[in-house]
Amino acid sequence: MLELKNISFKRDNKTILNNINLTLEDNKFYCITGPNGSGKSTLAKIIMGLVTPDSGSIIYNNQDITNLSVNERAKLGFGFAFQTPVTFKGLTVYDLLKIATGREINKKEACNILSKVGLCAKEYVDRELNNSLSGGELKRIEIASVIAKHPNLSLFDEPEAGIDLWSFKYLMEIFKEMNGTKLGTTIVISHQERILSIADAIILLESGMIKEIGNKDTMMNTILTNDCPKGGSNE
């Protein structure tokens, strides 16, 4: 179980997150949604340790992890898919997947992982992770690097951003599988109705605060009728 207690974060004198209290149960699929600038990405980064909150604490399975580094949280089983995938000169897709799995996988295993995100694996496994890959390809590899890790707690920061409809189909299949197998907690930052519709619970953030948490049936109505959402800034 992951508990966020009184998490607040300010930048440039603007409140990004304001006293967030949230409990996320094991093996559930959560979506965090809300207008641009509402603090969604910051919240995900705080959970992963990429951003340090000004105050508050994070408890994971009764352990206070507030002061644990990113890699210590990764070792606890946290995974994070970046909204904008990072490129590397010299590192290949295969290299990244070996790091993600934490062992010397063979190319066949790497190809199997890539196939899950809809990449014709043989063409990609030896490609360098640089800008010769399209934004959509990099995004799918980013997601592959997270699922390769088999995390206990996966965070996806707007996974639908920058991918085409074809890739989206694979993305939905991955999320449905993650939701179906219940092998860990999944947290997806998303605006996409189809992703929200498979969530066990939807968390609506507004102006750095949790406005509402509920199941998809009640929340979809709230979100769609929310005619003047307020965002913060510098998310």
Partner 1 sequence: MNKEDIELLKEVTETLTDQSEVYNIRKNGESIKRKSSDYINIVPKEDKSGLDIYVKENTLFGIVHIPVIITESGLTDVVYNDFHIGKNANVIIFAGCGIHNEEEKTSVHDGIHRFYLDENSKVKYVEKHLGCGKGSGKRVLNPTTEIYMKKASSMTMDSTQIKGVDDTIRITKGVLEESTTLEISEKILTTENQTAKTIFDVELNGENSSVHVTSRSVAEGSSYQEFASNITGNNKCYAHIECDAIIKEEGKVKAIPEIYAKNVDANLIHEAAIGKIAGDQLKKLMTLGLNEKEAEEVIIKGFLK
What is the binding site for partner 1 (CB under 8 A)? 48, 50, 69-71, 74-75, 78-80, 82, 86, 88-92, 95-96, 99-100, 102, 145, 149
How far CA 109 is from CA of 91, 97, 113, 140, 202, in Å, comes to 18, 9, 6, 16, 34
> What is the smallest separation between the CB atom of 221 and partner 1, expressed in angstroms?
35
Within 8 A by CB and 6+ apart from 51, the residues are 9, 42, 45
What Rg, from alpha-carbon coordinates, does the chain have? 18
User: Terminus-to-terminus CA distance in the chain, angstroms?
Assistant: 26
Cβ proximity to partner 1: between 92 and 233 the closer is: 92
Sheet holding 14-24, edge to edge: 14-24, 2-11, 55-60, 63-64
> What is the smallest separation between the CB atom of 96 and partner 1, expressed in angstroms?
8
Query: Would you state the structure tokens that stand for residue 146, as one six-digit string?
Result: 């997270």
Cβ proximity to partner 1: between 49 and 232 the closer is: 49
Cβ proximity to partner 1: between 21 and 130 the closer is: 130
> What is the smallest separation between the CB atom of 35 and partner 1, expressed in angstroms?
25
> What is the smallest separation between the CB atom of 47 and partner 1, expressed in angstroms?
11
Cβ proximity to partner 1: between 100 and 209 the closer is: 100
